[in-house]
């Protein structure tokens, strides 16, 4: 009988350990949801300031639809800056979706835009291709960032920091 009692103790300890691991995992999930509470204007200011590109123009609804194939009215907030240089590829897209499920559609639109630009500059725009290859698409909570810039990593850090 003592053998069975020892087995039950081991099983109880394993079960307790699994419950603790599950609680930690759930806590981490809820902690990451806080990203969506940051006001869009704060995140926008952080990433635009980090990009620090005077050759970029704020896009309107038509440009967003033309470049990305998405309707800005479908999202909580959206901003796009694009280069006004003929051979430039610099862009900064920031979207706050209504929920995290919509973020995937924005990511796909950004991937498609990147592919289109790579196709446009492949073979003759070595610098443009280099920037496109180094572009960053990042999702955090309900926010999606797509940046093509020599300062892409700086913009990404500003994005992440603004959502903490």
Contact 79, 63 (CB under 8 A): no
Express each pLDDT in 56-104 by its tens digit. 999 999 999 999 999 999 999 999 999 988 899 999 999 999 988 899 9
pLDDT of res. 115? 97
Give the C-alpha separation, 129 to 123, whole Å. Answer: 9
- Give the CA-trace dihedral at 139, 143, 145, 151, to 10 degrees: -100
pLDDT of res. 20? 84
Q: How does residue 3 score in pLDDT terms, banded at 50, 70 and 90?
A: low
> How far apart, in Å, do the first and last CA atoms of the chain sit?
55
pLDDT of res. 30? 58
pTM of the model: 0.78
Q: Inform me whether the pLDDT recorded for 33 exceeds 70.
A: no
Q: Inform me whether the pLDDT recorded for 34 exceeds 80.
A: no
Cα dihedral across residues 142, 147, 151, 152: positive or negative: positive
pLDDT of res. 100? 84
Contact 52, 151 (CB under 8 A): yes
Nearest to 105 by CA among 69, 133, 132, 79: 69
């Amino acid at each position: 009988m003592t053998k069975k009692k020892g087995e039950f103790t081991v099983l109880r300890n394993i079960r307790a350990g699994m419950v603790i691991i599950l609680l930690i995992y759930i806590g981490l999930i809820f902690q990451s949801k806080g990203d969506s509470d940051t006001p869009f204007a704060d995140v926008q200011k952080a990433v635009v300031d980090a990009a620090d590109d005077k050759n970029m123009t704020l896009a309107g609804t038509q440009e967003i639809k033309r470049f990305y194939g998405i309707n800005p009215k479908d999202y909580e907030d959206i901003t796009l800056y694009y280069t006004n240089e003929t051979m430039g590829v610099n862009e900064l897209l920031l979207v706050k979706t209504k929920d995290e499920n919509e973020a995937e559609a924005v990511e796909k639109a950004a991937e498609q835009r990147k592919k289109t630009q790579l196709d446009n500059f492949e073979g003759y725009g070595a610098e443009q291709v280099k920037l496109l290859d180094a572009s960053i698409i990042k999702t955090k909570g309900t926010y999606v960032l797509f940046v093509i810039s020599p300062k892409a990593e700086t913009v990404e850090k500003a994005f992440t920091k603004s959502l903490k």
